Homo-oligomer: A and B are copies of this chain.
Amino acid sequence: MSYSFTALQVERMLGDWRVEGPAYSRLAEAFEVMIADGRLPAGARLPAERTFATHCGLSRNTVTAAYRVLREQGYLTSGRGAGSFVLLPATEQKHRIPSSWAADQERQDIDLAIASLPAPESILGAATRRAALDLGQYSHLPGYDLVGAPELRQAIADRYTARGLPTGPEQIMVSAGADHALGLVIRLLSRPGDSVLVDSPTYPNALDTIRALRRRPLTVGLGMDGWDTDVLEAVLRQEKPALAYLMPDYHNPTGLVMPDGVRAAVAAAARASSTILVVDEATCELGLDGGSLPLPLASWAAPRQVVSIGSMSKTCWAGLRLGWVRAATPVISRLVDLRCVVDTGNPVMTQLIGLRVLESYDELLAERREMLLRRRQVLAESLARRIPQWRYTMPDGGFSLWVDLGARLSSPLALAAARRGVKILSGGRFGVDGTLENHIRIPFATDEESIATACDRLAGAWREVTSHRRGHA
């Protein structure tokens, strides 16, 4: 779980930090952002001061002073000759431990770091009351089960079949969400040191999981126009990654849909390179513009060559911790065998709740779409009014805008926003090695008033970082 970062990696990740003010202080702030948003994880080893100063063309004093500030603030520990390692400061830890529960709510911060909808109270409350009644049918069971309730697996399979991908319950394992599923799939189908193709940008938690399991993310750029088939094919052919982690419906953070032609090409190239496609479809039922999606990516490839991951975290609520894997039955069987090292299955009760939620799923999805369309509109209008120079493609689905800032200022922007009470991830969190510093993801999952207020604060933060920049230039 701890890495050494080279001077080159850190320099790239830092982006354009040289805004107005003392250099050491700006440099320390830029590090602080990278630590706070997890790009420099706890335990990571930073380049030595001298090496870093030489590499970046800075004075040694600047780097020494910045590291000292970070040590004083509790972000860094430096042993005798052992190098400098990232710490999560005590105050940060105190905040982190109760994290998303009530305590956090007392602060008036708007959280744009997580793209997640509130619980659909009436549908979920009704489903929970029904589950309490259903309990009688299951109370005799021991309550340990690694693969999941047959009824729920059938209901999940039916939704794949309805999407044009015939599926039986024996192809489904219920999981504790998409991240849990992804960790198991990576463990089963690859080895430490193997490379995993990912888009750039991609889902930050997937990057964390890939790295924590000591696989190497292999990025392929994804532009405003979508996937570059030629590059995808070339990387698959040349690098033969063990896995390719893709989000064709809808991509996070861009909201793009992978077109038919790309699906066909990726499936063919993956077959040739013996790469298994790991398809994360957590938002596939959250289309916003009424168009129909292409057939699922799993339809384009051989059964053993694709593993699909789904979740109710985005459509219903992350607090349910309910996701699943769809794969060939022998793969499901091996996943179940592997799973016992990690946990002993999903709670019966959340599975019963999930089953009832699926009975009202179309109603729920309609509510969610309407809610997200309104919120997307508020975000688009607020941005047009307050920061019209930011560019983005209106997404077809999902939860967020992927905004091109037109300048490599995402980290300073995130830091300035945090000071104004808006938590937001800088663009770099969606890529590796400090790319994507000219982008930021703005989710529209929070309520309309908070979105409008957040845009006001982001506009203030943007003025600050750009005026510093002008002053400095």
Contacts and interface: CB of A to CB of B under 8 A. Distances in A.
A409 interface: no
Contact of A321 (B97, B150, B346): B346
Interface stretch (A25-33, A141-149, A281-289): A141-149
Interface string A73-103: 0000000000000000000010011111111
B145 A100 contact: yes
A140 B118 contact: yes
Interface in A23-53: 42
Contacts of A416: none
Identify the interface centre among A142, A170, A205: most chain B CB within 10 Å of its CB.
A142
A116 interface: yes
A131 interface: yes
A319 interface: yes
Copies of this chain held together in the complex = 2
Contact of A342 (B135, B321, B342): B342
10 contacts: A99-B144, A100-B141, A120-B139, A121-B139, A128-B349, A143-B319, A176-B344, A212-B340, A318-B344, A342-B342
Contacts of A120: 139
Interface string A249-291: 0000000000000000000000000000000000000000000
Nearest to A113: B142
Contact of A128 (B1, B132, B142): B132
A114 interface: yes
A72 interface: no
Interface stretch (A7-15, A57-65, A330-338): A330-338
A105 B318 contact: no
A177 interface: yes
Interface string A122-146: 0011101101110111111111111
Interface string A297-328: 00000000000000001000111111000000
Contact of A116 (B138, B143, B177, B345): B143
A209 interface: yes
A132 B129 contact: yes
B337 A42 contact: yes
A147 B99 contact: yes
B111 A342 contact: no
B347 A347 contact: yes
Contacts of A129: 128-129, 132
B347 A322 contact: yes
Given A142-B116, A347-B320, A135 B121 contact: yes
B133 A131 contact: no
Range for the number of chain A residues in contact with chain B: 35 or more
B131 A128 contact: yes
A119 B139 contact: yes
Contacts of A162: none
A460 interface: no
A294 interface: no
Contact of A140 (B105, B332, B353): B105
A344 B321 contact: yes
Interface in A151-201: 170, 176-177, 179-180, 183
B119 A125 contact: no
A208 interface: yes
A180 B343 contact: yes
Contact of A349 (B116, B209, B319): B319
Contact of A347 (B105, B149, B319): B319
Interface in A183-234: 183, 205, 208-209, 212-213
Identify the interface centre among A208, A340, A341: most chain B CB within 10 Å of its CB.
A341
Interface string A342-372: 1111111110010000000000000000000
Contact of A144 (B100, B105, B341): B100
Contact of A179 (B213, B320, B338, B344): B344
A357 to B, nearest CB: 11
Nearest to A176: B343
A76 to B, nearest CB: 17
Contacts of A137: 102
A135 B119 contact: yes
Given A114-B142, A118-B140, A144-B319, 12 more contacts: A100-B141, A119-B141, A119-B348, A125-B133, A176-B343, A176-B344, A177-B343, A177-B344, A179-B343, A180-B344, A209-B340, A318-B344
